[in-house]
Chains A and B, each alone.
Chain A
Amino acid sequence: ETTLTQSPAFLSATPGDIVHISCKASQDIDDDMNWYQQKPGEAAIFIIQEATTLVPGIPPRFSGSGFGTDFTLTINDIDSEDVAYYFCLQHDSFPWTFGQGTKVELK
C-alpha cells in the first residue's frame, strides 16, 4: 500500500500569499496524483489531475508539480475563496490512498 504524507496539516496565510502544500508518496507513483478542494458541507472539487494538469474551470492561480514520490500543490495570490480543506489522492495502485489533508485559512 502506498502511504501519502501530506503537510502541513494546517496553514494560515495572508491574502495575496503564495502557499505550498506537499504530498510525499512512500513509493514511486509516476504522475498518478490528484488534488482536491473541499469546503464544509459541499462536494469536493477536482483541481489538479496527473500531478500537473489544471482541471478545466479551475482558476490558474492553482498549479501542481512533481513526479514519482514528491508532489506539491501551489496556490498563487491566495484569496478568501480558497479557504478550504485540500487533499491529495494517488491512483497508481490499489488500494487508492489519500493524504491526511490540509486546512487552509486566511489571517
Chain B
Amino acid sequence: QVQLVQSGSELKKPGASVRVSCKASGYTFTNYPMTWVRQAPGQGFEWMGYINTNTGNPTYAQGFTGRFVFSLDTSVSTAYLQISSLKAEDTAIYFCARVGEVATGVDYWGQGTLVTVSS
C-alpha cells in the first residue's frame, strides 16, 4: 500500500535551516510528482508547489521561491523540503502529498511535520 512517511518535528532558531524528508513506499517513486503543502497555526492549507520526481524539476508557488527548495533522492524514494533563513512565520505543519494520475490532484498524504521557529 502507498505510504508517505515524514520526518519528525523540528524546533529551530530564526535564521537556521531545516530539511523535512518524505519517504515513499508501495509504488514506483518516479512515476508520480510530489507536492508540498503548508498549514500555519490556525490557518488553512497553502500549496507550495511540486517536484517532478522523474526529472527532478521543481515548480514553486508564489511566495515559496528563494528560501524553499524541493529535492529528491530517488535511490531511497525520498523527497525533501529544505527551508533556509527560517523566520517565525515559517512555523507550520508541512505535508508532502503524492500527485495522482493525470487530472487527479493529490491522492496520498504524509502525516505532516511540525516545524517550529522560535528563539
Contact = CB atoms under 8 A, between A and B. Distances in A.
Interface of A: 32, 34, 36, 38, 41-46, 49-50, 55, 87, 89, 91, 94-101
Contacts of B109: 36, 38, 43-46
Nearest to A95: B61
A87 B111 contact: no
Given A34-B105, A38-B109, A41-B111, 14 more contacts: A36-B109, A46-B106, A46-B108, A46-B109, A49-B104, A49-B105, A50-B103, A91-B105, A91-B106, A96-B35, A98-B44, A98-B45, A98-B47, A101-B45
A32 B103 CA distance: 8
Describe B's contact surface by its main secondary structure. Answer: strand
A91 B101 CA distance: 12
